[in-house]
């Protein structure tokens, strides 16, 4: 539903959140159905495109972490969906995305430093940092526009 009374910043945040709904939902499906393939692709991209040295991240033998990752993606999908439906009323849901992506960036960086310089960790950190930065930028602009 288009709300003509939204500021430019609110419309931009709403558009970004609509995009995140699709991205998070798609990622949940892909990771839920083929987590091993995602890790394989990341390993391959690192070696083929970037000539990444060293070992590849091993494929998990169990699905414990896969279930938790998909659950988080479902929560992120829901948060983005609720927030974009009424940006003014549900702006606090955007914080869920920001906090989640901040935690995952920190986690990927720590894994890269402590577990080994695997390309998959670096790729995860970069992707989630981009999501974090874009969301934070639009969120903070929306807050600033409200204060004016």
DSSP reduced 3-state for 101 = helix
Predicted local confidence at residue 1, as pLDDT: 42
Domain boundaries, the chain: 9-143
Could you tell me if residue 116 is left (phi over 0), alpha (psi between -120 and 50 degrees) or otherwise beta?
Answer: left
CB neighbours of residue 73 within 10 Å: 21
Q: pLDDT truncated to tens, each residue of the chain (148 aa)?
A: 445 689 999 999 999 999 999 999 999 999 999 999 999 999 999 999 999 987 788 877 788 999 999 999 999 999 999 999 999 999 999 999 999 999 999 999 999 999 999 999 999 999 999 999 999 999 999 999 877 6
Q: Is 134 exposed, middle or buried (0-12, 13-18, 19+ CB in 10 A)?
A: middle
Residue with the two structure tokens 């499906």:
29
Distance separating alpha carbons of residues 41 and 36, to the nearest angstrom: 9
**Residue 112 in contact with residue 54, Cβ under 8 Å?**
no
């Amino acid at each position: 539903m288009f709300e003509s009374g939204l500021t430019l910043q609110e419309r931009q945040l709403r558009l970004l959140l609509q995009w995140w709904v699709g991205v998070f939902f798609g990622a949940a499906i892909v990771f839920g159905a083929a987590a091993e393939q995602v890790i394989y692709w990341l390993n391959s991209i690192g070696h083929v495109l970037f000539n990444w040295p060293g070992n590849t991240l091993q494929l998990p033998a169990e699905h414990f972490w896969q279930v938790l990752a998909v659950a988080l993606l479902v929560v992120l999908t829901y948060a983005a969906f609720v927030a974009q439906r009424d940006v003014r009323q549900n702006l606090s849901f955007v914080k869920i995305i920001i906090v989640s992506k901040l935690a995952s960036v920190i986690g990927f960086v720590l894994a890269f430093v402590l577990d080994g310089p695997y390309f998959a960790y670096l790729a995860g950190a970069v992707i989630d940092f981009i999501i974090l930065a874009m969301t934070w930028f639009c969120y903070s602009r929306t807050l600033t526009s409200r204060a004016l």
